[in-house]
Structure 1
């Protein structure tokens, strides 16, 4: 491939954000022969000291296997030894626990990711492909200039690039300047990690969870899920902010909330309530950016589409949109005359994902009918419209 002609100091593309979507976008463009800056803002771990070494967003479904293979990443990913996920147990629509196995999935089992290692693996792959990793946080975009703050020195500088991929997650630093975001609801999550007390507890837990499945349990004002991760046992509660018990912000209150569940609580046998740090809180509602692409920029990952965690599709969607965003920008750089068509195709691709998500989301929540007077379930059964405006 002939090296592209660019002004001195200018990159062909910059990727704002080095999570799964950003790293894969950078990987694809670098392999196409373009000079790519991958901007890493350092947000790789939980903001709470007690949650160090963990990042939420830990499920990767079996359908990721062919995508990782197409990206040339499957062998390296499998070698990392992420724990297998063989399906889901759920108490949803009744108190009885039902199982859904990956046994008959054509792609095999899924994975419980160690997100910090997984994200680092993708960043390393992008750098190996030729992307230039830069420790900086994007503050703004002005035409072809990106305003960034350098990590370490806190110096604010300008970077010049022909195209930018916004992979800044729900912050959507660049995309929100160009479009508006439709919020699906106001779902939030409170989560914490219970550490293993000693090796014997961990071995017992592995025997109890021999099928290595995530467990989901509906509750009167939201739902819970729990899964094994390398750091211990993750427990998360999903609800709306106006319905959240303030005591959930303390370890003791969170434990009392877990104790009111049935199946989730039983998964915590052998864990010390005192081992859990103060719970973290994060937004978990669906979001869609419109438009999600325009001349000189595209959004990928949560910046373009963010999903309710019930879908278990967040990381897979980040990988898919990151790869497609990288292909789109590479095509526009190769032939500027095709920019409008490429952006239209990318927009159609995103809308297809969003439409399928909305159908599955509505169906899933409609299956839970036990609490007809609960505001949480009533809001979702009645098909609440996406809220307009900036989220």
Structure 2
């Protein structure tokens, strides 16, 4: 059998890949959506969806994907020496804080089905093994049940995750251990976080001295279940010879000791997070990297979905109508990479600096105390976690002033 021809091949059916497939199919292109897994499937993640995700879904007329989900209403942060922050996420001046918690098994399947409904061809269960150039097209080899197939397209989009085959094949290399975090998540039953429960739709972070340099989270989906997880840099995990599952168990126990209702943990899954420190080359000849494959992950929060989805939207909308034109396509890919770096550089650098500072107990204590005492500091901290915020000189001064 000869090669299967498409206009666009998208490797990876996660949020970034599915978004790229949706936008490309709506432009009238023949799109292949490839993933080595069959869906629905579990995906280790904190399951948090920031405000930018909801905004992009509305822009794409995909509001139904979050229909029936309840947005997070408040935030609690535990820090060193017993310092604690409790605040509402609604009503922040000039900010959208419409964040949700949706299990990735559900969210990714909904987004993938939207791509198939838009016209993308379902090639789930196919693993990408290699790529190369042939005349004016790029080919991708995929394997299923021991059989190799060849796909050809005017453009290949690599959204195949933290262990991206396409990233390596395109010469962008592997993420280094110094720029990679590892997280473990589990689920627990808890009615305390339901909308009518004692805690409500409350997101919890912990940067306590006992946890550092790791941090922990509890994210509720409002349906009797919470996502409980911890994250740490791979280099620190190795240096301290830590058992990540034990770190997670200790964090869950500390939550219970605070009176937070958590059932037994189950469905433990660990995953690597290639952080945006630095971002690899994104634009290649007739190919581009987005999402985790492009290290589009916030070094402070570990969030990556919003960056990958926005990158997918911008990438595909910037492409020329005729994908066979090599010069026009190369120019569009270069412009996409320039846009991403200019848009997110200051934010991601600020997040990297904040991540380092929050690993220092005295700074974490003063930062959390200042956010409790100064609404400007709190607003900027939320913007850094969930928006496009950056470290500002005024905010740093306010932290030093109000954090004592």
Task: Check whether TM > 0.5.
Answer: yes
Does 1:215 pair with 2:205? yes
Q: Distance in 2 between matches of 1:57 and 1:318?
A: 15
| Structure 1: gaps of 5 or more residues | 1-6, 47-52, 373-391
Q: Distance in 2 between matches of 1:285 and 1:174?
A: 15
The answer to whether the 8 Å contact 1:164/1:298 transfers is yes
Q: Distance in 2 between matches of 1:285 and 1:265?
A: 33
1:45 Cα offset (Å)? 7.1
CA deviations over 1:46-79 (Å, ceiling 9, x no partner): 7xxxxxx5642411122333211211112x1232
The answer to whether the 8 Å contact 2:286/2:330 transfers is no
Question: Which position in structure 2 is the counterpart of 1:113?
Answer: 102
1:296 Cα offset (Å)? 0.8
Q: Give me the CA root mean square deviation.
A: 3.0
| 1:306-385 paired onto structure 2 within 5 Å | 306-308=296-298, 310-311=300-301, 313-329=303-319, 331=321, 333=323, 336-352=326-342, 353-367=344-358, 369-370=360-361
| 1:262-277 paired onto structure 2 within 5 Å | 263=255, 265-266=257-258, 268-269=260-261, 271=263, 275-277=264-266
Question: Which position in structure 2 is the counterpart of 1:225?
Answer: 217
CA deviations over 1:265-310 (Å, ceiling 9, x no partner): 5364352xxx324743222341444311112101111111232563
Q: Distance in 2 between matches of 1:293 and 1:141?
A: 15
Q: Distance in 2 between matches of 1:364 and 1:8?
A: 46
Given candidates 21, 34, 41, the residue that maps to 1:39 is: 34
The answer to whether the 8 Å contact 1:88/1:216 transfers is no
Does 1:102 pair with 2:78? no
Q: Distance in 2 between matches of 1:326 and 1:211?
A: 35
Structure 2 length normalisation: TM-score? 0.75
Instruction: Give the 3-state SS of the residue equivalent to 2:207 in structure 1.
Output: strand
Q: Distance in 1 between matches of 2:332 and 2:40?
A: 35
Number of paired residues? 344
Does 1:83 pair with 2:76? no
Q: Distance in 1 between matches of 2:164 and 2:345?
A: 17
The answer to whether the 8 Å contact 1:61/1:110 transfers is yes
Task: Classify 1:187/1:193 alpha carbon distance in 2 versus 1 (closer, same or farther; 3 Å).
Answer: same
The answer to whether the 8 Å contact 1:32/1:330 transfers is no
1:165 Cα offset (Å)? 0.3
Question: Which position in structure 1 is the counterpart of 2:25?
Answer: 30
Given candidates 292, 298, 301, the residue that maps to 2:288 is: 298
Q: Distance in 2 between matches of 1:107 and 1:204?
A: 22
Q: Distance in 2 between matches of 1:166 and 1:120?
A: 19
Q: Distance in 1 between matches of 2:316 and 2:256?
A: 40
Task: Classify 1:369/1:10 alpha carbon distance in 2 versus 1 (closer, same or farther; 3 Å).
Answer: closer
Q: Distance in 2 between matches of 1:20 and 1:254?
A: 26
Task: Classify 1:264/1:94 alpha carbon distance in 2 versus 1 (closer, same or farther; 3 Å).
Answer: farther
Structure 1 length normalisation: TM-score? 0.77
The answer to whether the 8 Å contact 1:145/1:158 transfers is yes
| Structure 2: gaps of 5 or more residues | 364-404
